[in-house]
Amino acid sequence: MLDCLSLSRCGEPDLPGFTERYRSFIERHDDGFELYDLIAERLPGERSEFALTYQAPSVNSLAILAGTRDFFSRFLAMTTHSDQVRRYVGQTATLLSRLMGAATRYHQGDLTVSVDNLRRDLHLAQGREAQGMRLLKKEIGRTQVCDTSQRRRATATTDVR
């Protein structure tokens, strides 16, 4: 199967509208990040329950978390959020990528990967997610999120031909 996607600009982005929706989402976001507890609980059993790594829900969940946090980190680079927030979210994304790799190796039977270390790192990631959200919420009321210079930079890097 081969898919093709063609994008064309149909007008200028609605930055004020986007900014308001983003701000509203961050302000209303309420998550205890319990998914990390569930992954820590289920990962050992999935090692024998699912023969193929790509079928293991915990490994898939970590892949989604790592990927979305990486993309969110890239998005933050296009905003006026502080370097502290950008760095923190980027470091969390990196931790999740490493954690996904370790969980994959664990599921594949790598005896050098300890389930106790995975659980510790999952707990660390859960705490970092919560702290990252607190930092975003604290900053969201003080920052403009997007300005014209940021918009030009965002447009230049997302223009698809």
Does residue 34 sit within a domain? yes
Does residue 23 sit within a domain? no
pLDDT computed for residue 2 by the predictor: 65
Does residue 94 sit within a domain? yes
- Identify the residue with better confidence: 7 or 124: 124
Does residue 21 sit within a domain? no
Residue type, 29: H
Q: How many residues does the chain have?
A: 161
Predicted confidence (pLDDT) at residue 86 exceeds the cutoff of 50: yes
Burial 116-151 (b: 16+ CB within 10 A, else e): eebbebbeebbebbeebbebbeebbeebebbeeebe
Confidence category of residue 52, pLDDT binned at 50, 70, 90: confident
Q: Can you tell me the distance from the alpha carbon of 145 to that of 79, in angstroms, rounded to the nearest whole number?
A: 5
Domain with 135, as residue range(s), is 30-155
The arithmetic mean of pLDDT across residues 55-67, rounded, is 94
Structure-token match 């370097």, residue found: 83
Predicted confidence (pLDDT) at residue 150 exceeds the cutoff of 50: no
Least confident of 7-21, 54-68, 119-133: 7-21
Does residue 68 sit within a domain? yes
The structural domain count of the chain equals: 1
Does residue 19 sit within a domain? no
Provide the phi-psi class of 145: left if phi over 0, else alpha when psi is between -120 and 50, else beta. left
Q: Can you tell me the distance from the alpha carbon of 60 to that of 133, in angstroms, rounded to the nearest whole number?
A: 23
Residue type, 117: N
Predicted confidence (pLDDT) at residue 6 exceeds the cutoff of 50: yes
Q: Taking all residues of the chain, what is their mean pLDDT, rounded to a whole number?
A: 87
Does residue 1 sit within a domain? no
Task: Give the tokens for residue 151.
Answer: 């918009």
Does residue 15 sit within a domain? no
